[in-house]
Amino acid sequence: MFEALPPAPTDKILALIELYRADPRPGKLDLGVGVYKDRDGRTPVMRAVREAEKRLLASQETKTYLGLVGDAAFNMAMIRLVFGENADTARIRAAQTPGGSGALRLCAELIKRSRPEATVWVSDPTWANHVPILRDTGLKVREYPYFDADTGTVRFEAMLEALAKAESGDAVLLHGCCHNPTGANLNEAQWTALAGLLADKRLLPFIDIAYQGFGEGLDADAAGLRIVAAKVPEMVAAASCSKNFAVYRDRVGAAMVMGTNGTQADAALGHMLAAARTLYSMPPDHGAAAVRIVLGDPALRADWEAELDETRNRMLSLRVKFAEALRQRSNSDRFDFIASHRGMFSRLGLTEAQVERLRNDHGVYMVGDSRINVAGLPEDRLDDLAKAIVAVLD
């Protein structure tokens, strides 16, 4: 029965992992998948997470089911981390999910069940897995303009203009911070204007917050989401702990819904959980339990925040140094935007052919749209990298 299957679509980010692994060249450089790396190219287990895991192993007496919603204390801690300590918890609910992708899928399922004809508007460009998740859920997808490749900035007026034409009841998928793949983000005034439009037009905000703490700080990175939450009656949000707790393979995330009141939020959560039951039933426990222990213990939490600060500051300093190296090598300000972008990614503005030449001639791996993972930049070889990039420009 499988003979009629066409080849399955491949994810361009995950495909790159395989290509990189298969490359025997010793000096090869991985700027592909969004995984944090330290100076030595390692992705360490965070100190506080390791300690929380020790405590978990020492105290865990059973591995019986927790239920569809997962760990209730984890869910509440995530609501406070994302929506803030003063979050209106009477009308916000969360379900623990397998990673941010699981959360995105549950939010999409909720939209599909609430309003099957809804269109979800996504930024042009957006994360490679957004549209597949939405389409597999059966939702219609349209793009709104977002990124100006010439200036490296957000096309905010064009974005508002497009969203003003969306139908009431449509959903708008937004990156809460650290836009993936561009690194170009909305400022506070823009979030405020956008929140007004979403409320006036009765569009459902659908916020993907996968890099909280990687841009400006834990609270600063959630500021846009909180501005929106203060203005609209309902919204959904998908949070990931993959990056900020470095628990990538443990699959830890949360799907959140804010309702007009608690009863409606409960009903919405119920539908997300009904979808979860058929998709994967219950979320894995281990990583979420470790995150719950970290967030609930003041000393561990302080240590986690300190390590997260180091992570962010390293990426910020790499941005500045890399922009400077490119300025020197290209003798232009063409790449200066890298220093002002925030988060794990920036898009260099190279063509697919230039990206391929970098891979073939220089062993430099980046996503085909020229997205780089800033954390993968080699601190001691920035000038060589800048030289290779400038070499493929002509």
Residues with active-site annotation: 127, 208, 210, 243
Q: How far is CA 105 from the centre of its chain?
A: 14
Q: How far is the CB of 135 from ligand LMR (least distance, A)?
A: 17
Task: Please name the amino acid found at residue 187.
Answer: N
Q: Judged by CB, which is closer to ligand LMR: 42, or 63?
A: 42
The footprint of ligand LMR (CB under 6 A) covers 13, 33-34, 127, 129, 180
Residues paired with residue 204 on neighbouring β-strands, in sequence order: 171
Query: What does each C-alpha distance from 261 to 88, 90, 221 come to in angstroms?
Result: 10, 7, 26
Q: Judged by CB, which is closer to ligand LMR: 91, or 130?
A: 130
Bridge pairing between strands 119-124 and 171-175:
parallel
Helix (H) or strand (E) holding 29: strand 29-30
Q: How far is the CB of 161 from ligand LMR (least distance, A)?
A: 28
Phi, psi of 121 (to 5 degrees): -90, 130
The burial of 42, by beta-carbon neighbours within 10 Å (0-12 exposed, 13-18 middle, 19 or more buried), is given as exposed
Q: Judged by CB, which is closer to ligand LMR: 231, or 342?
A: 342
Residues paired with residue 148 on neighbouring β-strands, in sequence order: 153
Calpha distance 160→7 (Å, rounded): 38
Closest Cα to residue 315, out of 371, 370, 366, 379? 379
Q: How far is the CB of 181 from ligand LMR (least distance, A)?
A: 7
Q: Judged by CB, which is closer to ligand LMR: 181, or 378?
A: 181
Q: How far is the CB of 248 from ligand LMR (least distance, A)?
A: 8
Q: Judged by CB, which is closer to ligand LMR: 129, or 330?
A: 129
Residue count of the chain:
394
Among all residues, whose Cβ is closest to ligand LMR?
Answer: 34
Token duo for residue 98: 């397998």
Closest Cα to residue 84, out of 258, 234, 250? 258
Q: How far is the CB of 33 from ligand LMR (least distance, A)?
A: 4
